[in-house]
Structure 1
Amino acid sequence: MKKSTSLKIRLPALVLVSEIVFIALYAGFVTYDTDANAKLQDNMTNPMENDLYKDYPVFVDVQVMIFIGFGCLLAFLHRYGFGGLVFNFLTATFAIQWAILVQGYFQFYSGGKIHLGVVNLLSAEFACAVVLISYGAVLGKTSPVQLLVMALLEVLIFSITEWAVLNYLRINDAGGSILIHIFACYFGLGVTFVLYRPSLNNGHANDATSYQSDILSVMGTLFLWVFWPSFNSAVTFKGDDQHRAILHTFIGLSASTLTAFALSALLSQRGKLTMADIQNVTLAGGVTVGASVDMMISPVAAYILGAVGCIACFLGYKYLTPFLAQHCRIQDQCGIHNLHGLTGIISCLGGIWGIMMANEDTYGPSLYQTFAHRAPMEGDPRLHELQQLIPGLQPGLGRTASEQALFQVAAMFSTIGVAAVGGIATGFVLKLPFLASPSDECCFSDKPYFQVPSDHESVAVPKLPEVPEDTKV
């Protein structure tokens, strides 16, 4: 008997209840921050010093990545274009609204209120990116109701993990390699492990692309590629740190792109490029430079990280993804383990190397801004001396480079553990029978959840003519 996938009651009920709860929480606990509150402005206030002008340009760039970049990238299946784009839109909007509240409690809560500004929206979009990366592991195999429930739980678990890691382990992770990419990857793998569908390992008629869907997906890749420097540099110190972050991200992405084209042609059976490689592997460099993106690692190190990350990502798609599906019950539909997991671990190792190499000869006094944990503790005479050179420098933890490296390792493994356990627990929740999960035969299709146009069934994977033998190299 086929499962009911009707959204008539399920989706409106979930959305309505959520909106009532959100309205109550926003009414009771959310107010404007200083720069958005008219009552706190006077004739001495310089409007151009408002945080809006520092954070909004980056916020817009991340918006494009979230709603257009991810949406188009996830629309690569020939009969799941609506699902890839529209469920991304729905899930992202829901996740951001919820993250403003949850992250606001941990990061922006003061005087009984969450103080709302553009920086809150930016932080919430990072939490949203976590959910959308995890969505890639279960793409086409879940209903919109399941996706909203996953977002509800994942944002909560992510926000608690983020708060604990940043406040107690105190790590360097400007580009979010640990707290965004690694967390999202292993959470998504935990979910798909529980939602395992054995029959899908034998192939599925809808698990294929078309000429048009591949073009749309590459458009998503291009949007992500162009705006990734803003994503990696958003939370770095303004000035030279942010400048380096943009440079390193661009160099890393450029290196991974060139390497991806070379590997795609070299390792294909007929020396042809594969669109899946262009859509995904080209982005690996943006992840692999993330943990060290604001450090003085040198441009050549960013280039090497981009190329190495690309190689690991490419080999992961070619060999590891099929192995995980066949032997480990992990059906990673979009290969998030390759683009975000493997590259995230490489990025962490690069960040540890950057931490170990950092010293005052390279950074000068700004060492203690980029690595705030290495600043002297309160009462240390050296702190007063540094504060004369760097006004506003806060007391640190007095850690050595080796000590900080150990904290980075601890953060990586603890994040993987929490994410995997949280994903597995969430997967069991998503298996509840009333969440409108599609049957195996209805996976990777828009038809169960959309009123599709009349030509939906006629959309087929085009069979291109073979290249004549005499043109092959």
Structure 2
Amino acid sequence: MGSKYPKSLRIFLPFWALILETAFILIFYFFTSYEIRSKKLELLETYSAFQDINVMAVLGLGFLKASLRRYAWSSVAFNLFTLALGVQWAIILDGFLFSYSGEKITINIQRIIRGTMSAMSVLISSGATLGKVNLVQLIVMTLLEVTVFQGTKFSLTFLKQNDHQSMMQIHMFAAYFGVATAWCLSGPGPDAAKEKEQRATTSTLFTTLGTLFLWIFWPTFNSALLDYPSEKETAVSNTYYALAVSAVVAMSFSAASHSEGKISMNHVYRAMLAGGVAVGVATNLIYSPWIAMVLGFLAAMISIIGAKCLPVMGYRLEGCLNRIIGLHDTCEVHSTFGLPGLLGGLTYIVLIAEQANWTKVSTAGFQILLSAGCVALTMATGLAGGVLTGSILRLNLWKAPHAAKYFDDQAFWKFPHLAVGF
């Protein structure tokens, strides 16, 4: 018996992917070279950070999105595909925007780390569109989002932001980019799509596993781009304190928000990461553990409140955002990354204001204005880039899956047999 799923990507996907990889190879051939000299000790220290961030990207964010019972294969594998493509493009853009001077761009492990972290913006955003786009659309989304994010980072250098601060804006940028893209792609779904979007025990365990990977390695992510050992140590400590408080608050507040006092695993694997998101941009400015702990406390509560009061989970829940603007956010990236990231941005402004030199009021005011401008610019570029990307992805050119094939692995994968439940 033949499959009811069309062979829509048989020629289209290899054509675009192979053409793109050929272009990347040529760019690396003509414009890049390896760094010749490197100290072994420095390499080993940097490689450890690279490993941690890679685990976050491949396993953490991959399994975090594997909660749909009929879309687990695609969630994990498409995440890896997007990362592999995005890293190459991010390294090219990073080299041309930040260090190109007519000579070849030097490739070292630090640049690969920055490329991986930049590509993670797409991994976060794709959670909002999960199950509704094919690989060709993900290729387009990756190229556009990494370009916009690198452009945003470059713009932030004019607002006196260093590499760490501009990179830590990634959570807020990616969340609002993904939400805006999902809004452009959202529409009324058939009953079959609603049924396939349900969660299952096994897939929820995968999501919990991804959350644990992210929870363990998040201190590395928040400290990798800092220059001084003392700053790195402060960032690691602050991130860990915030994550610890978030984990406790996630479970306790989830139980408090349920009529029968039961804990929602959906709240747990979203809110327990909120502390790491919230302290990111200001983690080296936080001078006492209690501040990081308060941020973790507030971020977890905001994440759960956002998930309950502003539900954008799709067709199953008719929340206020869903009714008013027709938004569909499959993995709730808004409450997981967007709201805690916004809290972190506001905290950064407050800490800059507190530590400013108020003997010179004009200078202090200028610093606060720059900080507020960074947060506003990040959110604005995320929303604008997401709307542009979503509008492009709606074009028939990309052979988007029909709504009846949403959240279904069989639309893309060869199954050895038609298993029960598929």
Common fold by TM > 0.5 = yes
- Counterpart CA distance in 1 for 2:191 and 2:247 is 30
| Closer/same/farther in 2, CA of residues 456 and 401 from structure 1, 3 Å limit | farther
Does structure 2 retain, via aligned residues, the 8 Å contact 1:174–1:292?
no
| Closer/same/farther in 2, CA of residues 437 and 101 from structure 1, 3 Å limit | same
Aligned equivalent of 1:383: none
Aligned equivalent of 1:180: 170
- Counterpart CA distance in 2 for 1:155 and 1:132 is 11
- Counterpart CA distance in 1 for 2:189 and 2:112 is 41
- Counterpart CA distance in 2 for 1:20 and 1:74 is 30
Does structure 2 retain, via aligned residues, the 8 Å contact 1:172–1:408?
no
Question: CA-to-partner distance for each residue in 1:225-247, whole Å, 9 max, x for gaps?
Answer: 00000000011122111101000
One-letter amino acid matched to 1:440: A
Does structure 2 retain, via aligned residues, the 8 Å contact 1:442–1:448?
yes
Does structure 2 retain, via aligned residues, the 8 Å contact 1:78–1:206?
yes
Aligned equivalent of 2:216: 226
Picking from 416, 435, 440, the partner of 2:403 is: 440
| Closer/same/farther in 2, CA of residues 224 and 329 from structure 1, 3 Å limit | same
| Closer/same/farther in 2, CA of residues 230 and 28 from structure 1, 3 Å limit | same
1:356 is paired with a residue whose SS is: helix
Q: Which moved more, 1:286-295 or 1:221-230?
A: 286-295
- Counterpart CA distance in 2 for 1:438 and 1:112 is 44
Question: CA-to-partner distance for each residue in 1:346-398, whole Å, 9 max, x for gaps?
Answer: 101111222222279xxxxxxxxxxxxxxxxxxxxxxxxxxxxxxxxxxxxx9
Report whether the alignment pairs 1:133 with 2:135: no
Q: How far off is 1:281 after superposition? A: 1.1
Aligned equivalent of 2:279: 289
Picking from 423, 426, 450, the partner of 2:413 is: 450
TM-score by structure 2 length? 0.92
- Counterpart CA distance in 1 for 2:171 and 2:7 is 31
Aligned equivalent of 1:365: none
Q: Which moved more, 1:288-297 or 1:95-104?
A: 288-297
1:450 is paired with a residue whose SS is: coil
Q: How far off is 1:201 after superposition? A: 9.8
Aligned equivalent of 1:340: 337
Aligned equivalent of 1:260: 250
Aligned equivalent of 2:355: 358
- Counterpart CA distance in 2 for 1:276 and 1:177 is 27
1:269 is paired with a residue whose SS is: coil
| Closer/same/farther in 2, CA of residues 313 and 203 from structure 1, 3 Å limit | farther
The Cα RMSD (Å) is 2.2
TM-score by structure 1 length? 0.82
Structure 2's unaligned 5+ residue stretches are 312-318
- Counterpart CA distance in 1 for 2:383 and 2:190 is 22
Q: Which moved more, 1:322-331 or 1:176-185?
A: 176-185
2:169 is paired with a residue whose SS is: helix
Aligned equivalent of 1:106: 97
Q: Which moved more, 1:53-62 or 1:219-228?
A: 53-62
One-letter amino acid matched to 2:246: S
| Closer/same/farther in 2, CA of residues 142 and 155 from structure 1, 3 Å limit | same
One-letter amino acid matched to 1:270: E
Q: How far off is 1:6 after superposition? A: 2.2
Aligned equivalent of 2:27: 25
Structure 1's unaligned 5+ residue stretches are 37-46, 361-397, 460-473
Q: Which moved more, 1:69-78 or 1:169-178?
A: 169-178
2:326 is paired with a residue whose SS is: coil
Does structure 2 retain, via aligned residues, the 8 Å contact 1:173–1:292?
no
Please list, as runs of the form range in 1=range in 2, the aligned pairs for 1:235-250 lying within 5 A after superposition.
235-250=225-240
Picking from 136, 140, 144, the partner of 1:145 is: 136
| Closer/same/farther in 2, CA of residues 400 and 439 from structure 1, 3 Å limit | same
Percent identity between matched residues is 33
Does structure 2 retain, via aligned residues, the 8 Å contact 1:76–1:209?
yes
Please list, as runs of the form range in 1=range in 2, the aligned pairs for 1:40-439 lying within 5 A after superposition.
47-48=39-40, 51-165=42-156, 167-171=157-161, 174=164, 179-199=169-189, 204-321=194-311, 322-358=319-355, 400-439=363-402
Does structure 2 retain, via aligned residues, the 8 Å contact 1:185–1:340?
yes
- Counterpart CA distance in 2 for 1:409 and 1:200 is 43
- Counterpart CA distance in 1 for 2:385 and 2:222 is 25
Q: How far off is 1:172 after superposition? A: 6.0
Q: How far off is 1:455 after superposition? A: 5.1
Aligned equivalent of 1:39: none
One-letter amino acid matched to 1:318: K
Aligned equivalent of 1:468: none
- Counterpart CA distance in 2 for 1:175 and 1:260 is 27
| Closer/same/farther in 2, CA of residues 399 and 185 from structure 1, 3 Å limit | farther
Does structure 1 retain, via aligned residues, the 8 Å contact 2:163–2:225?
no
Q: How far off is 1:17 after superposition? A: 0.5
Q: How far off is 1:176 after superposition? A: 5.6
Aligned equivalent of 1:393: none
Q: How far off is 1:110 after superposition? A: 3.3
1:31 is paired with a residue whose SS is: strand
Does structure 2 retain, via aligned residues, the 8 Å contact 1:296–1:358?
no
Q: Which of the two has higher C-alpha Rg?
A: 1
- Counterpart CA distance in 2 for 1:183 and 1:85 is 22
| Closer/same/farther in 2, CA of residues 176 and 209 from structure 1, 3 Å limit | farther
Does structure 1 retain, via aligned residues, the 8 Å contact 2:173–2:382?
yes
- Counterpart CA distance in 2 for 1:454 and 1:271 is 41
Q: How far off is 1:60 after superposition? A: 0.7
Does structure 1 retain, via aligned residues, the 8 Å contact 2:90–2:115?
yes
- Counterpart CA distance in 2 for 1:244 and 1:275 is 31
2:189 is paired with a residue whose SS is: helix
2:33 is paired with a residue whose SS is: strand
2:105 is paired with a residue whose SS is: strand
| Closer/same/farther in 2, CA of residues 139 and 18 from structure 1, 3 Å limit | same
One-letter amino acid matched to 1:194: C
